[in-house]
Structure 1
């Protein structure tokens, strides 16, 4: 049996802000549009029904002009503590962000889990860089 750890990109990132401040940047579609995606990407939001079972539809725009339609479903939301989506089109995965108070800020624990180890390994190098950039962009948005 493939464990979650074997098929996931797992990382943490400290942001010098409260969990509530971080969650604010994760729950407002205008703010999410500013930080979601790797460096150089922008997003156009169409639907952001921020509740468990709610739909999130957007297009990510790459720096080279390529558009990437995305559709996800919010699976779990705990205010100021947890945000989880299931990505439904293209690469199927679950993304969980947990917010843990830590000293003078928040430790954001990011876990992107694919269905199989093989699927994850095929994308692991790209996913690792993109997820780190996403967390850095989240921190900039929280602190702006």
Structure 2
């Protein structure tokens, strides 16, 4: 896919697959870990069904708010979520796969971006930010 940039992060968490899935599917838990280090979250809408929307305001440690608008296109409870992140920044598709694994459950996070000059310049930063997301998720699951 020459016109697409793909970012994949994955990690095995020491919980069962349903617990891992619930950490995303429950907005109260999701708000505690979403985003890179230093962010807090306010979830204004969260309808985890195909066609549902997700509105979240992420606040950076300096107080700057980032309003994010998502829509869900595919949801297979406990197994898979596909969502689209819309404007204002970084339009992309996120696929989250949840699978049983030795020692727990594996989360595979796949982001798909159109190949643009801006996205070419930032993809490595987003891959690192995703690892921070996983670190925060890991802390919540303990």
TM range (shorter): over 0.9
Secondary structure of 2:139's partner?
A: helix
Give the conservation status (yes or no) of the 8 Å contact 1:23–1:81: yes
* Superposition TM-score, scaled by structure 2 size: 0.92
Query: Corresponding residue for 2:40?
Result: 42
CA distance in 1, matches of 2:51, 2:118: 25
Query: Corresponding residue for 1:11?
Result: 9
CA distance in 2, matches of 1:12, 1:117: 24
Matches within 5 A, 1:110-129: 110-116=109-115, 118-129=117-128
Give the conservation status (yes or no) of the 8 Å contact 1:46–1:58: yes
Query: Corresponding residue for 1:134?
Result: 133
Query: Corresponding residue for 2:66?
Result: 68
CA distance in 2, matches of 1:31, 1:50: 14
Query: Corresponding residue for 2:91?
Result: 92
Give the conservation status (yes or no) of the 8 Å contact 2:3–2:114: no
CA distance in 1, matches of 2:40, 2:18: 24
Query: Corresponding residue for 2:76?
Result: 78
CA distance in 1, matches of 2:10, 2:103: 16
Q: Unaligned stretches of 5+ in structure 2?
A: none
C-alpha spacing 1:98/1:117, structure 2 compared with 1 (3 Å): farther
Alpha-carbon RMSD: 1.4
Deviations 1:49-93 (A, max 9, x none): 111110000110001111101000011111111122100112100
Q: Unaligned stretches of 5+ in structure 1?
A: none
* Superposition TM-score, scaled by structure 1 size: 0.91
- What is the CA distance between 1:125 and its match in structure 2? 2.6
Secondary structure of 2:62's partner?
A: coil
